[in-house]
Amino acid sequence: SQQGEEDPQALSIQEGENATMNCSYKTSINNLQWYRQNSGRGLVHLILIRSNEREKHSGRLRVTLDTSKKSSSLLITASRAADTASYFCATWGASGTYKYIFGTGTRLKVLA
């Protein structure tokens, strides 16, 4: 079964609005990463947040991590049509296990 489960599975918003997507995972992690995938640029790394960090920013992206709830959220502010893509969280397991698992993804559509 997938370690990461993104929520919602699909999201449709207007350009300029904010988009929030969530990721839940099951086991202890060392870090969590978010990726974007679209047909034009393939799979691209967006941001990495370590297990001892609670929040991280990169441009219009804000990621939070709550290890007590085993969840993370990705916020895209002032969305653009070019943000239309699928977004995945990926986790690297802790406790000596070296398992790298992608979530199921959120399909974001930004309407112009």
Partner 1 sequence: KAGVTQTPRYLIKTRGQQVTLSCSPISGHRSVSWYQQTPGQGLQFLFEYFSETQRNKGNFPGRFSGRQFSNSRSEMNVSTLELGDSALYLCASSLVGPHYEQYFGPGTRLTVT
Closest listed residue to residue 90, CA positions, set 78, 105, 108? 105
Q: Is 10 in the site for partner 1 (CB under 8 A)?
A: no
Q: Is 48 in the site for partner 1 (CB under 8 A)?
A: yes
**Binders of partner 1 in range 14-33 (CB under 8 A):** 30-31, 33
Name which position in 20, 26, 102, 109 contacts partner 1 (CB under 8 A): 102
Q: Is 67 in the site for partner 1 (CB under 8 A)?
A: no
> Rounded CA gap, 95 and 51, in Å?
13
Report phi then psi at 75, rounded to 5: -110, 125
Contact between 23 and 6 (Cβ < 8 Å)? yes
Interface contacts to partner 1, rule CB under 8 A? 2, 30-31, 33, 42-45, 48, 88, 90, 92, 98-105
